[in-house]
Amino acid sequence: MSENKKIEKIVGVKGMNDILPADAPLWELFENTVHTVLKSYGFQQIRTPIVEPTGLFARGLGAVTDIVEKEMYSFTDSMNGDELTLRPEATAGVVRSAIEHNLTYEGPKRLWYQGPMFRHEKPQRGRYRQFHQIGAEALGFTGPDIDAELIMMCQRLWDDLGLDNIKLELNSIGDAAERNAHRADLIAYFEQHADLLDAEAQRRLHSNPLRILDTKNPTMQAMVNAAPKLLDYLGAESLAHFEGVQKILRHNAIPFTINPRLVRGMDYYNRTVFEWVTDALGSQGTVCAGGRYDTLVEMFGGKATPSCGFAMGIERLLELMKASGEKFAANQCDVYIVHQGEAAQMQAFVVSERLRDAGLDVVLHCASLAGPGSFKSQMKRADASGAGYAIIIGDDEIANDTAIVKSLRAEDMENNQAAVPFDTVAEYLVDQIVGGDDEHDHSEHVHYHH
Ligand code: ATP
Ligand code: MG
């Protein structure tokens, strides 16, 4: 701006984060690892809209839940008056889509999704208003086998990511009838201890007493620990299902602990529920959570489709990866091209395209507010890019029909360079970069230095 007016900056929405280039390699590594694992179990991706009708969540998640009571970004579409909500989770949308498109018509389906979720929470470490999940939904499966498979898939992922401080907590919350029997005793128990209930618990006493078990209020812990346990109310079928899950996990040496207080936040769960927790992240220690939801599809008007799924919080898992002390960084490119003069610039364009044809990642120096830049300042950019090589083209190189290829990593930088004809510079560099390195997978050109 030429006039010196002070222009107010607009900043991003509180609790909604920018994911900056410095973190991109970590996200990429994480996502690639998850995708590989999901694929290895035959899961297929589904992408549903970020916005859904508000009624979908109100009906699916249950009216007396944290999310529906106070966390949803809901609004009226000013164009047509539709009531809409930014999705706080993806299971409801995936199930809606599966019904709408008859996805389980030919049999059960293993699905996965990924993307941003929105919840109006108090922002803090590990808790944001826009955050990201990857989740899996196995639709149309009845037995404990799929529950165990989902859990084992998570375990494989933690192993592949090198995360050894995530523990599995498991519970069964039975079916609706079993929960109702338990619920009556639970309300009676809480009424006996009414003096200990906080405001939220009192509000939930008759609407959703099970959720009181989930309280984080320290002064209620002892009382809640001694409350009637839902596990004691399970009938033969629910118990057999729960036993079945445990049997497969034990057979595959997946460690777990049974946490009778684990109930999960959404109403749609039944039978198996599980959480993967870590003590390395402070109070936001649940990195992945899921369970069985045998009646949700029917609640949305579909045919009976017993199902099971989970969702993991990407931000919390990335925190864990960072906490492991490893550094995740990626070079911007393999080769940075510096040049001076118009003829050199024209040649630099041609060379850069040839290098890309050969599969290399190339940054061609371009002018900025600082001007085209001296060789010296361009070389600084080349160093900062993390490239292994710079190509230098000036008047002399144009005259000689050669480029100077300079190694940016060698000890003796002064001498570690070669004059290479423009025609063969791509071959020369591919040879330098890929040639001596058997393990370098040239087709997937991502270099993480851990
Ligand atoms: P919490 O008890 O921490 O509020 P939740 O039960 O609401 O979690 P789910 O709805 O089960 O969480 O979501 C699955 C996972 O998504 C969580 O285990 C967590 O890793 C992540 N997650 C949930 N809410 C947030 C948030 N606001 N910010 C970041 N990650 C979140
Ligand atoms: Mg929550």
How many Å apart are CA 184 and CA 316, to the nearest integer? 36
The finding on whether 131 has its CB within 6 A of some atom of ligand 1 is yes
Quick one: pLDDT at residue 71?
Answer: 94
Specify the CATH number of the domain 335-444.
Answer: 3.40.50.800
The finding on whether 119 has its CB within 6 A of some atom of ligand 1 is yes
Quick one: pLDDT at residue 414?
Answer: 59
Quick one: pLDDT at residue 4?
Answer: 67
> What is the location of CATH 3.30.930.10 in the chain?
24-174+234-323
Tell whether domain 24-174+234-323 is in CATH 1.10.357.10.
no
Quick one: pLDDT at residue 447?
Answer: 42
**Which residue lies with its CA nearest to atom 9 of ligand 1?**
289
Closest ligand 1 atom number to CA of residue 88: 10
Q: Which of 264, 283, 31, 241 is nearest to 157 (CA)?
A: 31
- Three-class secondary structure of residue 20 per DSSP: coil
Give the Cα-Cα-Cα angle 354, 360, 365 (nearest 5 degrees): 75
Closest ligand 1 atom number to CA of residue 266: 10
> What is the location of CATH 3.40.50.800 in the chain?
335-444
429: DSSP letter: H
Quick one: pLDDT at residue 328?
Answer: 84
Instruction: Please state the pTM of the whole predicted model.
Output: 0.90
pLDDT along the chain (450 residues), means of 10: 78 97 95 98 98 93 82 96 97 97 96 98 96 98 98 98 96 92 93 93 88 89 92 95 98 96 81 96 93 94 96 97 86 96 97 97 96 94 95 97 92 76 96 67 42
Report the b/e string of 37-66 with b at 16+ CB within 10 A: bbeeeebeebebeebbebebbbbbbbeebb
Quick one: pLDDT at residue 450?
Answer: 38
**Which residue lies with its CA nearest to atom 16 of ligand 1?**
313
The finding on whether 163 has its CB within 6 A of some atom of ligand 1 is no
